[in-house]
Structure 1
Amino acid sequence: MRADRLVSLVLLLRQRGRLTAETLARELEVSTRTVLRDIEALSAAGVPVYAERGRHGGFALLPGFRTELTGLNHDEALALLTAGSGRGEQVFGLGSALASAMRKVVDALPESRRVSTSDAAQRFLVDPQTDLLARRAVTEEVSSAVMIAVRRAVLAGRKLRIHYAAADQPPQWRTVDPIGLVTVRDRAYLLATRSGVDRTYRLSRVVAAAELPEPAQRPNQVDLDRIWRERSARFRAGGDQIAVLVRVHPSRREEVLNTAVAVLVEAPDADGWSRLELTFQDSRHAEWALWQLGSDAEALSPPELRVALHDRAAALADRYRA
């Protein structure tokens, strides 16, 4: 870990020039004391890093120092920098690793391409935190301790003990065999088996996790894409789910799609609206989701949903009639 941090420190100084110990500590997520020790270690190893005193001082490398690496063409480097420009730091708790990798990608480029590729990457924005309607993306928080334990168990192929809080239930300890990790719309899931039965756990509901020494019971090869499709299909077909036919204004289409469990059919309707056949978890979920859209949506079926929305609207109208 320290070797990686020393490399990152050198790359930061190469790419940004003079930096204070406080700035380096913030970038590397360590204390300023650790930065000072790392600077001493680099100097002892022959890396030409020096300190500048004064108000605008800091640490810098002697001009011209670099370790030349080649092999990435312009489009390959641009693809990596663009992928790292979104909210990738939130994926599976790999924020520090992503930042370090991006610094290495930039430093790996020949001088002639480094500036042009970095400038080009600034022209692309991936998954901003708000859309055109100023709606903020909802990102579920997963503690770093939980994410590290889960990730290690998945990669090492060991059993995992999790303290999991299912919906509307107190947390309970469970021992599972982890298969893989999936992220969908900024929600992270653990695919696993428990006593041989398929299980899918939302990581934001994992209160604590511990990697166990026993090997996990799982196949050597895995097709996560196929497993996710199969589990998604079972989820959409199970429980007390309800199918709803609805007309939606185009400005609210994405909102209702993000709320529904699944989209079964979509077709254009009159006035530029969309006609959608959706499934929701139950009738209460459907009523809540469509109520949020106000007059920008109309439930066409089932009839009991139309009655529920009418009664709710009538009660609200009565409240404000006076």
Structure 2
Amino acid sequence: MRADRLVSLVLLLRQRGRMTAETLARELEVSTRTVLRDIEALSSAGVPVYAERGRHGGFALLPDFQTALTGLNHDEALALLVAGSRRGAHLFGLGSALASAMLKLVDALPESLRDTAADATQRLLIDPETDLLSRRVTADEVSDTVVAEVRRAVFAGHKLRIHYAAVDQAPKWRTVDPIGLVTVREQGYLLAKRAGEGRTYRLSRLLAAEELDEPAQRPDTVDLDRAWQERNARFRTDGDKVAVLVRANPAQREHLAGTALAVCAEEADADGWLRLNVIFQDSRHAEWALWQHAPDAEVLAPQWLRTSLCNRAAAITARYGPSS
């Protein structure tokens, strides 16, 4: 760990020039005292780092130790830097490793590419935390220690023992055969098999994990994209999912689809409106979603959902009508 930190310290000084001990401590997520000890260790090892005193002082490094990555063109270097800016790595416990790798990548670029690539990445924003409607993207909170154990089992092909808290259930220990890791919209998932059946576990619900020595029962190769699509299709039909027949204004089609789990079928009515078969997570989800689209969507079936929406509309009318 210290060796990686010393390398990162050198790369920070190379790329940013003079930096104070406090700034270095924030970047490296250590104390100022640790930074001072690291600086001393680098100096003792012959690395040309020196201190500049005064109000605008700090530590600086003489140019040295250059390694050029000459096989990359500008667009290739830019693609790597943009990929490295995505937040998915944090869900897999690789956030600090990604930051260190990006420092090494930038430092290894030829000087002619380094400046132009760094400038270009400032003009690209990937997956901001809020959209144009100021809706904040909430990323899952995942324990680095837990996900590191999961990651090791996935790559080593070993069975994995997990303490998992499913929705509305007490946490339970279970042993699974890990297949792979998936990140979707700031949420991380473990694809695995349990007793031969495919299972999907949300990483944020893993309370603990332990890699076992026993080999996992899984194929040597896997099409993770296909496996995810199969799990996704099964998720839409398993459990207490609710199917709803809806007539909707075509202008609201995409918005309606965005609030549902899936649109299974659709056709156009004579008046131009769309007739859609839509799947929702459960009854509460269906009622909430369809209420958002009134009066641009009409539930045709099931009857209980029509009645529920009618009662809600009547309550709203009573609350805000003239007689109130």
Fold equivalence (TM over 0.5)? yes
CA contact (8 A) 2:162 2:207 kept: yes
Q: Secondary structure at the match of 2:92?
A: helix
2: distance between equivalents of 1:65 and 1:271?
Answer: 73
Q: Is 1:46–2:20 an aligned residue pair? A: no
2: distance between equivalents of 1:104 and 1:264?
Answer: 47
| Change beyond 3 A, Cα 1:25–1:214 | farther
For normalisation by structure 1, the TM-score amounts to 0.89
| Change beyond 3 A, Cα 1:55–1:258 | farther
Gaps of at least 5 residues in structure 2 are none
| Change beyond 3 A, Cα 1:69–1:129 | same
What residue identity is the alignment partner of 2:141?
E
Deviates more, 1:298-307 or 1:49-58: 298-307
2: distance between equivalents of 1:271 and 1:56?
Answer: 72
Q: Is 1:160–2:150 an aligned residue pair? A: no
2:64 matched residue in structure 1: 65
Following TM superposition, by how much is the alpha carbon of 1:183 offset from its aligned partner in structure 2, in angstroms?
0.8
1:215 matched residue in structure 2: 215
CA contact (8 A) 1:81 1:121 kept: yes
CA contact (8 A) 1:162 1:210 kept: yes
2: distance between equivalents of 1:232 and 1:195?
Answer: 20
1: distance between equivalents of 2:102 and 2:266?
Answer: 40
Q: Is 1:81–2:74 an aligned residue pair? A: no
| Change beyond 3 A, Cα 1:303–1:230 | closer
Q: Is 1:247–2:252 an aligned residue pair? A: no
Q: Is 1:25–2:25 an aligned residue pair? A: yes
1:281 matched residue in structure 2: 281
Q: Deviations over 1:3-55 (max 9, x none)?
A: 22222111111111111222212212223233222222222222111112233
CA RMSD of aligned residues (A): 2.6
Q: Deviations over 1:108-147 (max 9, x none)?
A: 2111121111111111111111111111112221122222
2: distance between equivalents of 1:215 and 1:186?
Answer: 30
| Change beyond 3 A, Cα 1:252–1:149 | farther
Q: Is 1:119–2:119 an aligned residue pair? A: yes
Q: Secondary structure at the match of 2:234?
A: helix
Gaps of at least 5 residues in structure 1 are none
2: distance between equivalents of 1:271 and 1:128?
Answer: 40
Q: Secondary structure at the match of 1:107?
A: helix
CA contact (8 A) 1:179 1:192 kept: yes
- Once the two structures are superposed, the pairs formed by residues 150-299 of structure 1 within 5 Å of their partners are 150-244=150-244, 245-247=246-248, 253-254=254-255, 256-265=256-265, 276-291=276-291, 293=292, 295=294, 297-299=296-298
Give structure 1 regions of 4+ aligned residues with deviation exceeding 4 angstroms. 248-252, 265-276
For normalisation by structure 2, the TM-score amounts to 0.88
Q: Secondary structure at the match of 2:221?
A: coil
| Change beyond 3 A, Cα 1:299–1:95 | farther
Deviates more, 1:227-236 or 1:245-254: 245-254
Following TM superposition, by how much is the alpha carbon of 1:186 offset from its aligned partner in structure 2, in angstroms?
1.2
2: distance between equivalents of 1:170 and 1:224?
Answer: 29
CA contact (8 A) 1:11 1:103 kept: yes
CA contact (8 A) 2:91 2:140 kept: no
2:8 matched residue in structure 1: 8
Q: Secondary structure at the match of 1:225?
A: helix
2:149 matched residue in structure 1: 149
Q: Secondary structure at the match of 2:124?
A: coil
What residue identity is the alignment partner of 1:300?
V
Deviates more, 1:277-286 or 1:266-275: 266-275
| Change beyond 3 A, Cα 1:298–1:20 | same
What residue identity is the alignment partner of 2:285?
H
2: distance between equivalents of 1:267 and 1:85?
Answer: 41
| Change beyond 3 A, Cα 1:234–1:302 | same
Identity of aligned residues (%): 68
Following TM superposition, by how much is the alpha carbon of 1:270 offset from its aligned partner in structure 2, in angstroms?
11
Q: Secondary structure at the match of 1:212?
A: strand
What residue identity is the alignment partner of 1:211?
E
